[in-house]
Amino acid sequence: MSQVKAFVKQLSGITFAGRTSSNHWVMMDGPETFGGSNAAIRPKELLLLSLAGCTGSDVAAILQKKRVKLDGFEMNIEAEQTEEHPKIYSEIKLEYVFYGKNVQAKDVERAIELSQTKYCGVTAMLQKAVKITHTYRIVDTSEEN
């Protein structure tokens, strides 16, 4: 079992800087009305980016190994948040958007399935607490110049 460490330092109010074992820093903040300076991402929003970054990395790597050529790849994430404290995400919807010529649905579906069921650790952790659904779109770029 490997260990990952994190360090978080308060800069001012609810403005924090955090660093993990990879030695990269990230800033976190909140709205001015809550003691922040509104200068960085909210900590809970980082969960959404972590989820998309994790599954997106898997899907991109799997498609690359399958020699699927993409002109682009994007993800849209929507989360439903409860009104009562603690305000948690009750559902997260992922939309994978693939751009390319002759991108096959079966390749995309298999890559997403492998990420969601086998490789993405963030999905594995979060789906124990929140409903995660996904859809995908393939945008054919063969008509473009």
Full 3-state SS string of the chain: CCCCCEEEEEEECCEEEEEECCCCEEEECCCHHHCCCCCCECHHHHHHHHHHHHHHHHHHHHHHHCCCCCCEEEEEEEEEECCCCCCCEEEEEEEEEEEECCCCHHHHHHHHHHHHHHHCHHHHHHCCCCEEEEEEEEEECCCCC
User: pLDDT value at position 143?
Assistant: 78
pTM as predicted: 0.93
Q: Which residues does the chain have with pLDDT short of 70?
A: 144-145
| Cis peptide bond prior to 86, omega within 30° of 0 | yes
Domain ranges, ordered by start, for the chain? 1-41, 43-140
Of the candidates 136, 50, 143, 145, the one whose C-alpha atom is nearest the C-alpha of residue 97 is 136
Look up residue 95 and give its two tokens.
């939309």
Quick count: other Cβ atoms within 10 Å of Cβ 71? 14
Task: Give pLDDT tens digits for 44-70.
Answer: 999 999 999 999 999 999 999 999 999
pLDDT, residue 77, reads: 98
CB 48 within 8 A of CB 96: no
Q: Residue 145: what pLDDT?
A: 57
Among 95, 110, 105, 94, smallest CA distance to 138 is for 105
> Considering only the top CATH level, what class is 43-140?
alpha beta
